[in-house]
Every structure is written in C-alpha cells, then in structure tokens.
Structure 1
Amino acid sequence: MSVSQSLFLLFLLILISAFFSLAEIALAASRPVKLRQMADEGITNALRVMQVQEKPGHYFTVVQIGMNALAILGGIVGEGLFSPLFTALFALQLEAEQAATLGFVASFILTTSLFIVITDLIPKQVAMAIPEQFAIRVIGPMRILATLLKPLVLLYSWIVSGVITLLKLPKQRDDSVTPEDIMAMTQAGAQSGTLAASEHQVIENIFELETRTLPSAMTHREGIVYFLRDDPDALIRSRIADEPYSAYPVCDGDIDHIVGYVTIKDLFQRVLNDQPISLDDPTLIRKPLVVPDRLTLAEVLKQFRQAGETFALIVNEYSLVVGLISLNDVMSIVMGDMVSPWYEEQIVRRDENSWLIDGVTPIQDVRRALDIDSVPHEDEYETLAGFLMTMLRRVPKRTDSVTWGGYTFEVMDVDSYRIDQVMVTRTIPQVGAEGAGPALKG
C-alpha cells in the first residue's frame, strides 16, 4: 500500500471513529425536555432519540464496537505508515536497533495523539455544546449500523446485561425532573443572562408556594377591616371611603363571629342607586370561604379555584380568626418585583448595612432581602417576630438583640408585646457564622 493510500485510509478511520465518539456523547448529553420540545415541533428523529435513551444498551454497544475496531485498525495502519519514516529519520544519528525502537515509539505517540485529539476530544466538546442537534442527525446511521451488527450487538448486550444483573448495578437512568432540578436550571439561566433576574425570581416564588403557610402572606387579625351586622349606613359609607377594599367580612358582635362578607361591588350598586345599606339584608351577605391557618399558599389557591372565591378568612385550631388572605396577596408573592416591591413597606433599607423591618414580615422575605441562606428552626415560626421569640425563648422587649448569619437584629419598638420595628445591621462577616450559635443580648 502506497504512502498516499495509507494516509487516506488512516484519515478515513479517524473520521469514522470521530463519528462514533460524537454519537456517544450526543445521546448521553441530550436533555429529554429539549428533545420533547423538538418532537412537539415535528422533528421525528427527536422521538427516536428519546426511545433510544430509554434503552441505550444496543446503541452504546454499536458505538464501542466501532470505536475499538477502528482504534485497532488505526494503530496498525499508523504504525505501518509512520514507523518506517521515523526509523529512517532516527537511523541518520543512531544505530539501526535503537532507531527502530524509537521509530515505533514515535509512530505510536503520533497515531495515538491523532485519535485522542480528532476522534475523542474535539467531537465530544462540540457534541456537549449542542447534543440534541447532533443526536437527531446521527440516530439514522446508528440505527442502520445496529441492524447490520445485530448478531454482535445481541451477544455483547447479553454478556453486559448478565454482568450488570449479577453485580446489581442500575440499568436505566432516572430522567424524572424534580423542583430542585428546575431551580438549578433557572439559576444557571439567570447567571448566564438567558433568563432575567425577575423571571428567575417568579419561578422561585412559585415553588415557594408549596412551603409557605398562610400566616406568612395574610393580613393579620388586627389589620382586617370589617363591618358589624348592625353598623349604620353612615358608618359603612365612611369606612368604605377611608379604607376601600374589594370585600369586607361582616361580623356579629366581634371578629370571631363571622356571618359572611359583602363585596364593594354590591355596596357601590346600593350607593349609586341611592339605596340605604343595611347588613341585615340577606341578599347582600355572601358565605365566606374559611380555611385553617396551617394551609400552604398552594393549597389555598386550590381552594380559591374550587370555591370560586378570591379571598378567605383564616382561623386557628380554636376557631378564632387570625387573618385574611386574598388572591391578590398570593399573586403578589408569586410576581414579586414584577408587580411591585413586595417588601417596600415592611423592609426599608436605611443604608448599605442597615434595614428597618416590621416584626410581622415573613421570615422568607427577610431571608431574601438580606441574602441569608437559612435561619434556625425555620419550621417553628412564620415572621421575623417569631424568629426573635424562638431565639430569645421569651417575648422580646425593646433593645433585645440577636446576631445570626452576619447580621444583628435589634428590637426597636414593642407595642403591647407586639414587635413593631426591628433594626437589622450587617456585622463583620465571620467564617462559619451560620453554623455557630447565635449571640443574644437582653
């Protein structure tokens, strides 16, 4: 075989081996979610790739047969092509035996380097960048090769399956997508710039609905605006003007005895028609949705949908009203900064290293605003006030403070045992601050 023929054969072997290497990494790196999207767009090869991913044994057997056979053939051709050339070159300076040895070594190194670079490193790096595009292109030829090499494929697959079963090794990969996987992908998208920070925040907030309970987003008992059933017309009109809301609870004597609710729409119709407003009118009062305070935000959304309501009264285990939540409250949690600064009123940044925070602010919002990864015993409370009570193990008083996660939380104002304002100051960061116990000051 002439030098030119040997070079052509070696080049051909390298190209075919590169194809197998590219086919291997393209299938392994292809994302099922992306393939499903391509299949929905009418790309039939994407479905074929997904089917092979479910049972990739035969596919990888073909790849390994091809790559190993080509590597052996390439070594033979490369040694026959380069060894005489290097031997003749070294013979100019060395003895014949030494020149032959060095010629073989140089030929081996050159041939191996060509295969490593051209058939392995380059195809795999390229395929890792856009695996789905390559996978749908190589699946056709690979299916043909699998048919041609079926006897060998079945033999090797039988041997491999037996060994895997004997060693109790996994046969299939788990392609299920967990919330953690989605969060990791969106985090990567936000860091790369393909996903806006606000969009990433919305996705994070949606998953947070499964863990956040109602007290973290509700209007607390003392903030509820309600009517008594015997309130006069003038008082009702005055309260509507002063504190306009979409709906108002109607109570009998006090807030713990709810008889229903009235909508602002119905009240305005009475006003516009110049009719008196009487909350004793049964046609005006609607039955409220009442939910327990242990529900998550995701669960209350489901109840809103089932009941066809947009707000709910929240009661504790003693059937006492503890708060009120509306659909807008939940959606403001989801949309975050895309709607309005959700912590604008409760968390006020004074300067670069200090914040003034309302005691009823949900602890998740505090963590997000301060960029704190975690707080101790988070499942035991909902608000910043609850955090301070848990850390101090008593009802805080003015000037009490807690240091945690590189911040000092100092109680600034207490009203009838209710923590109104907390001053948060960034302290000097310390290694392992979150793992250490909190510093308390009373």
Structure 2
Amino acid sequence: MSDLIGIGILIIFGALFAMSEISIAAARKIKLRVMADEGNRKAKAVMALQEQPGSFFAMIQIALNAIAILGGIIGEQTLTPYISELVSLIYVGPLAEQISFFLSFLVITSLFILFADLLPKRIAMIMPEAVAAKVVTLMNGITFALTPLVMTFNGISNLILRIFKLPTEREEIVTTEDIVAMMEAGAQDGSLQQQEYHLIGNVFELEGRTLPTAMTTRESIVYFDINDSSETISAKILEHPHNHFLVCDGHLDRLIGSIESKEILRQLLKGETAHLDDNLIKRDVFYLPETLTLSEALNAFKSAAQPFAIVVNEYALVVGMVTVKDLMSSFMGNLVTFHGEEQIVQRDANSWLVDGVTPIVDVMKLLEIEEFPDDNQYETLAGFLIYMMKRIPKRADYVIHAGFKFEAIDIDGIRVEQLLVTRISETKSSDDTLAPLED
C-alpha cells in the first residue's frame, strides 16, 4: 500500500513540474506585463524567470528525470505482484513472468503519461499565465534548494551554448506579424470587434503606404492663377467648394502661396469683387516629399500644424496635394464615410468600376489578392496596368491576374481614368495574361 501511495505522490509531483515547465515557457510577456501593472507580484516573478530561465529548466529536468527513474523502480516492484495474480487466473506457463512484467510496465507508463505529463501540459497550455503565477514561488524555492546541482548542469549547458554561439538568455521581441496574428485570433473568437480589427490593421498599413496612395494628384488640383478674374475665382469656388486654394503664377510649379475661401467670401459679402489680395495670400506653404510614408506624413502634420501639404518629387516638381482628412481617410478605411466620389464602385457580385488612381493596396484588400507582381514599381491600379503592358494602355486593353481581369474602359489622353475589374472563371489559368497588341 505504501508503494502505491509513493507512485501517487510521484505522479502528483511529475504533473506539477510538467505544468510549471510548459506554463512558464508559454506565458505571454504582454499579458504578464498587464497582470504586473494590475499589482500581481507573481507575474513579475514569472517575467524575471523568463528572462533568465537556465536555472529553472535545469531544476525541472533534474526533477523530472529523478521522478521517471523512481517511478520505474517503484512501479515495477509494486504492480508486478498484483498483475501476476491476475495473469495467473488466465494463463499459467513459462511466459507468465514476462507477460506480468510487460503489463506492469505498460500500466505504470500509461499512468505517468496521462496524469503526470499529457493532462498537466494541456492545462498549462490552455491558461499559461494563470498557472505560471501559481507555481512560480514554489519553483523558485525548489530551484534554490537544488542550487549545487542546478549550478553544475546550468553551467555546463551555458558553456555548450557559448561554444555553438547560441544565446543563453531569452529575448522576446514582439513583431508586427505577432500582433497581426493575435488580432486575427481575437477577431475569430469575438474578443476583438471587426471595427477594431480593421482599425488596427489600417494602423500597420500606414508604414507600408507612401503619400502618392492618399494624395490628390497634380491634374486634379484646383488652384487660382494670380491673374484670374473675379468671375473665374467665383466660378472655381462654386464648382469646387474647398476650404483652401493654391495661388500660382501660371502653373503649379510656380506656386506663390494659398488662400482660404472664406477670405474671398468675406470680400463678396462686403460688396467687393473677388480678387487675390497679397495680404490674404499665405506664403508659408507646407511641402512634403512623395517618398514619405503615411505614418511619417502624420507626424510631419503634427509638428507643422498645417491643414494641407504640397507633395513634391525629387526634382522639386509638384505631384500632388494631401490633407489631414486624406490621411485620416486612409487610416479609418471604411469605418468612417467621407463625402466625395468613391474610387471603387461595385457593379455586381463579380465586377467593379475602379478609378485609375486607386492605390494598389486598396485593390488588394478589396479583392483579397495576396500580391501583385513587382508592386514596388507602381502605386496605383493604372500604374499596374501600364507596368504590365510596358506601354500606355488603350481602351479595352486588359491584364488578367490572380483570377481577375483588369480592363481599361476610360482613357483621357495618356491617363487611365477608369478600369473595369471582373472576376473570371476559376478554371482559367491564374498566370498573368496580357491583351494582344494592336497591329
């Protein structure tokens, strides 16, 4: 009977050490830090143990191996007599002893696998932080009690790791991929709302998108010429009711400054003709290079406290204009609707009308396309079509990629105004296909 109690005690200790090993290894530092900020001292102890786990794992291995050896010795001696009696009821012969030994080995091994290893580890994997916080104090105490053995084995293992130039301490770095994986898991189990999931995803996209994906392109900028008449100024304001207008001398690359439309309105309310008074023109124009990411642009706006910026290329030519509203629209995605013309309009379940200047990242997200070929060579869907065809597209030219047909349907000069994107049959080849060149 005492041997059976001994086996039970060994199984309990084996389960305790197995749970401790898995829980402390699997406990997430982010969640432990939250627990520590809430005043849980044991969570701090777990984080300290994770930073220098060598002594702990040395103690665990010493304990588990000792339990396994003792379990084999005690178990075989304890169970064999009982199993021999059971075997004798069925079989009496020259192999009875070997059969009894095999069955006793099988029973004791099954008990240890199930109750000292498998179940405890599954429990520890399900709630690693909670289990780790409960066992950390006891494990630190046992590690201290076994200090001589722990130091010996830990020192040898550290020496071997240094010989092979491997790190001896755990360094946990949370990457963007880790955060995205946690967000997806949270969205799937419902702990993270879909709006929150999309919002956080958009935040990460700010680092991967440059200003041309959010700006108003050069040809779409409405500006005042310094020599515009009162009628021209009034007509532009009526047709394009913006808050700010650029003031140029002939063309965009000869930029003078900007003026607020309310200043023109004030002139009209006073009974005056609309004119570009030098005193009303703001000369301090805010410029941003087109190579900036949206995240860097947001930081720049925060420092400059300007409502808009002129985007220029490396040759100091104006390529577009971006406002804080444009950046916020990219950040919020479809969570907030801004009034204005939509770049993507769905015609039916398998086709979309897409503006040529639509950022390629937005198309990828909408159509769930993982990648476009050489997507670092262009920013927009029109750029993709031009890059793939190696020429300026004509109306009805198309490219097939990832099961979708991208067809130019509206061409203004050399500018691709609009494309028709159609989902094609899945039986067709997924390789990129170009429309045949015209003779």
Q: TM-score, normalised by structure 2?
A: 0.93
Q: Is 1:181 paired with 2:178? A: yes
Q: CA deviation at 1:258?
A: 1.2
Answering whether residue 155 of structure 2 is matched by residue 158 of structure 1, we say: yes
Question: Tell me, what secondary structure is at the counterpart of 1:11?
Answer: helix
Alignment of 1:23-62 (within 5 A): 23-62=20-59
> Out of 107, 116, 120, which is 1:119 matched to?
116
Question: Are 2:398 and 2:406, in contact at CA under 8 Å, matched by a contact in 1?
Answer: yes
State the distance in 1 between where 2:130 and 2:265 align.
60
Shift of 1:130: 1.0
Q: 1:267 Cα shift?
A: 4.9
Mean Cα deviation higher: 235-244 or 56-65: 235-244
Q: Which residue of 1 aligns with 2:226?
A: 229
Q: 1:39-62 deviations in whole A, cap 9, x for unaligned?
A: 111111111111111110111111
**Does structure 2 retain, via aligned residues, the 8 Å contact 1:279–1:285?**
no
| 2:348 equivalent to 1:348 | no
Give the Å deviation of 1:97. 4.7
Deviation at 1:184, TM superposition (A): 2.1
Partner in structure 2 of residue 168 of structure 1: 165
Q: 2:23 touches 2:132 (CA, 8 Å); kept in 1?
A: yes
Report the Cα offset of residue 270 of structure 1: 5.5
Query: Whole-Å Cα distance in 2 between the matches of residues 17 and 221 of structure 1?
Result: 71
Q: Single out whichever of 107-116 and 191-200 deviates more from structure 2.
A: 191-200
Contact 2:403 2:428 in 1 (8 A): no
> For 1:29-428, what aligned pairs fall within 5 Å after superposition?
29-95=26-92, 97-233=94-230, 235-264=232-261, 266-267=263-264, 278-340=275-337, 345-428=342-425
Amino acid at match of 2:109: T
Q: Distance in 1 between matches of 2:421 and 2:67?
A: 67
CA distance in 1, matches of 2:118, 2:200: 36
CA contact (8 A) 1:404 1:439 kept: no
Report which stretch shifted further, 26-35 or 186-195: 186-195
Q: Which stretch of the first structure deviates more once superposed, 382-391 or 235-244?
A: 235-244
Structure 1 distance, partners of 2:80, 2:411, is 89
Cα offset for 1:133? 0.8
Whole-angstrom CA distance in 1 between matches of 2:374 and 2:363: 15
Question: Structure 2 counterpart of 1:23, which letter?
Answer: S
CA contact (8 A) 1:259 1:287 kept: no
8 A contact 2:52–2:170 mirrored in 1: no
Which residue of the partner structure matches residue 6 of structure 2?
A: 9
The Cα shift of 1:79 comes to 1.8
Q: Which residue number corresponds to residue 439 of structure 1?
A: 434
| Cα deviation 1:113-172 (Å, max 9, x = unaligned) | 111011111111111111011111111001111111111111111222222223334423
Change over 3 Å in CA distance of 1:55–1:274 after alignment to 2: farther
Q: Describe the superposition over 1:189-234 as per-residue Cα deviations: whole angstroms up to 9, x where unpaired.
A: 2233322333222222222222211111111112212222344455
In structure 2, C-alpha distance between the alignment counterparts of 1:425 and 1:110, rounded to whole Å = 64
Percent identity, please: 43
Deviation at 1:310, TM superposition (A): 2.5
Q: Describe the superposition over 1:2-51 as per-residue Cα deviations: whole angstroms up to 9, x where unpaired.
A: x2x33222212111110100000001101111111111111111111111
Separation in 2, partners of 1:108, 1:364: 61
Deviation of the 1:276 alpha carbon: 6.4
Counterpart residue type for residue 392 of structure 2? V
**1-side partners of 2:223 and 2:164: how far apart?**
69
Answer whether contact 1:230 1:280 (CA < 8 A) is retained.
Answer: no
8 Å contact 2:211–2:293 — kept in the other structure?
yes
The farther-off stretch of 276-285 and 322-331 is 276-285
Write the distance in 1 (CA, Å) between the matches of 2:298 and 2:106: 66
Q: 1:432 to 1:165 in 2, by over 3 A?
A: farther
Residue ranges of structure 2 left out of the alignment (5+ in a row): none
Distance 1:306 1:13, change over 3 A: same
Letter in 2 for 1:438: T
Deviation, 1:286, is 4.5
C-alpha separation between the residues in 2 aligned to 1:176 and 1:125? 25
The amino acid of 2:27's aligned partner reads S
Secondary structure in 2 matching 1:172: coil
Deviation at 1:91, TM superposition (A): 1.9
Instruction: Indicate conservation of the 8 Å contact 1:399/1:412, yes or no.
Output: yes
Q: Which amino acid aligns with 2:353?
A: L
TM-score scaled to structure 1, two decimals? 0.92
Query: Aligned partners of 1:85, 1:432: CA distance in 2, in Å?
Result: 69
Letter in 2 for 1:441: P
Q: Distance in 2 between matches of 1:79 and 1:258?
A: 92
CA contact under 8 A between 1:229 and 1:280: conserved in structure 2? Answer: no
Distance in structure 2 (CA, Å) of the matches to 1:271 and 1:9: 98
Judge which range, 230-239 or 422-431, deviates more: 230-239
Give the conservation status (yes or no) of the 8 Å contact 1:314–1:325: yes
SS at match of 1:215: helix
Given that 1:336 and 1:342 are in contact with CA atoms closer than 8 Å, whether structure 2 keeps it comes out as: no
